[in-house]
């Protein structure tokens, strides 16, 4: 019996010795470690207790390998910091993985057929949502109508969105449940599209979408968890270790639940809608609250719509529809009030602006708020920043506004952008090089569900400005191309800066959070188009391997 205290003492000493041991938890060696733009070249990296402990050559990590160290021989593969997606609709992306996929439907007939097939798998009365269709990819390029799907969905209300989220198609059942009729009025900042007889076609744009979304039942807690799990699995597969999430669904509780269950495999900077400001302020909460895994992020405001839906706000009319210059989703005085009050309360602002007029008006609002409120490091953000007049670049730089850009939009939208807004305005679109050359901070993301979550597509788009299948030769407005190192930097350190986290992640310097990705090949040594098909072999978040392609393909646990 006298031995028992000694056993506890011995265990404590062993535990203390293990904690003090320099041995790493994970060592990767024998490859190319791109630790960050401007950092020294390396071939090995060591990780302990969730942080990078050493970066350099074989000799720098050799002494850190102990009996319990997992050693990965890279055999020339590339290691980069974990990707930080600066603009994601994460739960919507997860729900999309669980719903009907309309993104690559080739025409109206395939669109309707896929919806019909999905409806047959669901109980009667279940809403069909997500979809992410793109009529610009159809030969007709015409918007779908409710009549196209009514016959195959008589007992399922349908509300499937265009891939940009700024318009959606409702079937007749959904319109009936929402009370949308011939006599319904267009809401401010929204459009009910009507046929020649004045009847709703089923297409609702921007704020008009709320006429239907307000009657759709909220997803259950378990449904949200299912969507989050599906989305996390996809993020790990493609090497995304931080999500800057602006889900319209209240996702924070889902992430907290998954963390409590040990299932969280990415970090979250969780945005809230501008409508959440007063409750958050009353509770004493503001941007940045949280820890390394989950933090409260920016407040999101939508200032205009999208170019694909013809609702992005421009100074001049659309080239292909001179009757409209787009939509402002708030009157200008209201936009300025929202920005000023949220800034005064200490929140970071992330404002969606696509058209040149929307960008200019948001810059006006930022400038007025900064003048009205006490000085501080604000890191105002404009999300998308797609069409920006050269005269406004200086204001971006002077105000320190972050351009939160999704480079894959450029190679998708270039199929129709010049037809929609003309060549001169298209020349001022998606201009990453112009932003960086002007000294403007840039963060990269995907806008998933709008584009795939896969960073490889964004890297390829930024460095080639060509379609995945190739062309136009040399790239679309090739003067806006950037290098692979620059693209990686904007997708890692640049995005970390946009969430006030560049001192914790975004590079692989010692002391930084151990979020990293191993590619199956060295992206710097292969033709750009091969980037699209070079898989991620390992994803590490917080020093833990959260995706192992070899184990995944073998069906074994890690």
3-class secondary structure per residue, 61-92: HHCCCCCCCEEEECCCCEEEECEEEEEECHHH
Whether 434 and 491 share a structural domain? yes
What angle, 0 to 180 degrees and rounded to 10, lies between the N-to-C axes of helices 221-238 and 252-260? 80
Whether residue 125 is predicted with pLDDT greater than 50 in this model: the reply is yes
Whether residue 394 is predicted with pLDDT greater than 90 in this model: the reply is yes
pLDDT of the residue at 298: 98
pLDDT of the residue at 472: 96
pLDDT of the residue at 554: 84
Q: Is 9 helix (H, G, I), strand (E, B) or coil?
A: helix
pLDDT of the residue at 556: 64
The pLDDT tens digits of the residues spanning 495-540 come to 999 999 999 999 999 999 999 999 999 999 999 999 999 999 999 9
Distances (CA, A) of 284 to 89, 281, 345, 498: 26, 5, 10, 23
Please say which residue of 166, 195, 213 terminates a domain: 213
Cβ neighbours, 10 Å, residue 310: 21
Burial of 12 (0-12, 13-18, 19+ CB in 10 A): exposed
Model confidence at 165, pLDDT cuts 50, 70, 90, reads confident
Q: What DSSP line would sit under 227-294, residue for residue?
A: HHHHHHHHHHHHTEEEEEE--SS--HHHHHHHHHTT---SEEEEEEEGGGHHHHHHTT--TT-B-SSE
Q: Is 30 helix (H, G, I), strand (E, B) or coil?
A: strand
Cβ neighbours, 10 Å, residue 484: 16
Whether 350 and 247 share a structural domain? yes
Q: Which residue has the tokens 């779908």?
A: 144
Whether residue 405 is predicted with pLDDT greater than 50 in this model: the reply is yes
Whether 346 and 409 share a structural domain? yes
Of all residues in the chain, what percent carry a pLDDT higher than 70? Answer: 96
The arithmetic mean of pLDDT across residues 208-227, rounded, is: 94
Residues 6 or more apart in contact with residue 495 via CB below 8 angstroms:
83, 84, 85, 86, 242, 244, 443, 444, 445, 506
Please say which residue of 472, 488, 507 terminates a domain: 507
Tokens (6 digits) for 327:
């939509």
Q: Is 41 helix (H, G, I), strand (E, B) or coil?
A: coil
Whether 209 and 94 share a structural domain? yes
Q: Which domain CATH number covers 558?
A: 2.30.40.10
The pLDDT tens digits of the residues spanning 343-379 come to 999 999 999 999 999 999 999 999 999 999 999 999 9
Whether 502 and 512 share a structural domain? no
Find how far residue 430's CA is from the centre of its chain.
16
DSSP state letter for 512: S
Whether 48 and 193 share a structural domain? no
Model confidence at 21, pLDDT cuts 50, 70, 90, reads low
Classify residue 328 as left (phi > 0), alpha (psi -120 to 50) or beta: beta
Rounded Cα distance between 24 and 53, Å, is 8
pLDDT of the residue at 7: 32
Closest CA to 307 of 322, 323, 325, 329: 325
Rounded Cα distance between 547 and 28, Å, is 15
Whether residue 18 is predicted with pLDDT greater than 50 in this model: the reply is no
Please say which residue of 178, 196, 213 terminates a domain: 213
pLDDT of the residue at 6: 39
pLDDT of the residue at 8: 33
The arithmetic mean of pLDDT across residues 463-491, rounded, is: 97
Average pLDDT of every residue of the chain: 94
Whether 106 and 23 share a structural domain? no
Whether 245 and 375 share a structural domain? yes
Q: Which domain CATH number covers 475?
A: 3.20.20.140
Q: Contact at 8 Å (CB) between 434 and 332? A: no
Whether 327 and 446 share a structural domain? yes
The pLDDT tens digits of the residues spanning 243-259 come to 999 987 778 999 999 99
Whether 139 and 279 share a structural domain? no
The arithmetic mean of pLDDT across residues 552-558, rounded, is: 72
The pLDDT tens digits of the residues spanning 24-79 come to 999 999 999 999 999 999 999 999 999 999 999 999 999 999 999 999 999 999 99
Whether residue 20 is predicted with pLDDT greater than 90 in this model: the reply is no
Whether 319 and 449 share a structural domain? yes
Strand partners, 228: none
Whether 518 and 502 share a structural domain? no
| Domain count of the fold of the chain | 3
Q: Which domain CATH number covers 118?
A: 3.10.310.70
Tell me which residue range forms the domain holding 333: 221-507
């Amino acid at each position: 019996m006298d031995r028992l205290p000694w056993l506890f003492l011995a265990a404590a000493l062993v535990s203390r010795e293990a904690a003090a041991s320099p041995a790493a938890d994970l060592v990767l060696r024998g490859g190319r470690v791109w630790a960050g733009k401007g950092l020294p070249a390396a071939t090995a990296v060591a990780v302990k207790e969730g942080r990078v402990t050493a970066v350099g050559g074989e000799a720098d990590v050799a002494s850190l390998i102990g009996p319990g160290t997992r050693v990965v021989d890279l055999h020339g593969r590339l290691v980069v910091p974990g990707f930080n997606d600066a603009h994601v609709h994460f739960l919507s992306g997860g729900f999309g993985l669980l719903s009907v996929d309309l993104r690559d439907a080739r025409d109206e007939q395939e669109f309707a057929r896929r919806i019909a097939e999905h409806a047959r798998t669901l109980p009667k009365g279940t809403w069909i949502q997500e979809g992410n269709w793109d009529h610009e990819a159809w030969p007709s390029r015409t918007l779908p109508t409710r009549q196209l799907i009514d016959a195959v969905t008589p007992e399922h209300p349908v509300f499937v969105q265009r891939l940009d989220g700024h318009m959606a198609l409702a079937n007749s059942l959904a319109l009936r449940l929402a009370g949308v009729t011939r006599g319904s009025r267009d809401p401010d900042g929204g459009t009910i599209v009507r046929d020649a007889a004045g009847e709703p076609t089923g297409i609702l744009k921007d704020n008009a979408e709320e006429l239907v979304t307000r009657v759709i039942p909220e997803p259950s807690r378990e449904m949200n968890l299912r969507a989050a799990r599906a989305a996390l699995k996809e993020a790990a597969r493609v090497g995304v270790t931080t999500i800057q999430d602006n889900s319209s669904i209240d996702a924070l509780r889902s992430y907290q639940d998954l963390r409590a269950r040990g299932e969280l495999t990415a970090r979250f900077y969780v945005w809230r809608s501008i409508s959440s400001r007063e409750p958050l302020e009353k509770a004493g909460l503001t941007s940045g609250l949280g820890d390394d895994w989950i933090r409260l992020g920016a407040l999101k405001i939508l200032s205009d719509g999208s170019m694909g839906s013809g609702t992005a706000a421009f100074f001049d009319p659309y080239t292909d529809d001179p009757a409209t210059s787009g939509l402002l989703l708030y009157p200008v005085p209201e936009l300025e009030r929202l920005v000023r009050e949220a800034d005064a309360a200490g929140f970071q602002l992330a404002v969606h602006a696509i058209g040149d007029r929307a960008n200019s008006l948001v810059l006006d609002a930022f400038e007025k708020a900064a003048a009205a409120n006490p000085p501080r490091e604000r890191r105002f953000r404009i999300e998308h920043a797609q069409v920006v007049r050269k005269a406004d670049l200086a204001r971006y730089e002077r105000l320190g506004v972050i351009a939160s850009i999704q480079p894959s939009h450029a190679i998708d939208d270039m199929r129709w952008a010049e037809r929609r807004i003309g060549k001169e305005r298209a020349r001022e679109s998606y201009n990453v090089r112009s932003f960086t050359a002007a000294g403007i901070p840039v963060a990269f993301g995907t806008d998933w569900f709008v584009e795939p979550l896969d960073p490889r597509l964004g890297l390829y788009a930024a460095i080639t400005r060509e379609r995945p299948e190739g062309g136009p030769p040399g790239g679309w407005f090739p003067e806006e191309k950037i290098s692979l190192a620059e693209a990686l930097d904007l997708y890692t350190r640049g995005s970390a800066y946009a969430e006030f986290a560049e001192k914790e992640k975004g590079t692989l310097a010692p002391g930084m959070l151990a979020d990293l990705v191993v590619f199956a090949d060295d992206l710097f040594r292969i033709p750009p188009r091969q980037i699209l098909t070079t898989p991620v072999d390992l994803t590490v978040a917080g020093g833990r391997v959260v995706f192992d392609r070899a184990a995944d393909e073998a069906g074994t646990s890690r």
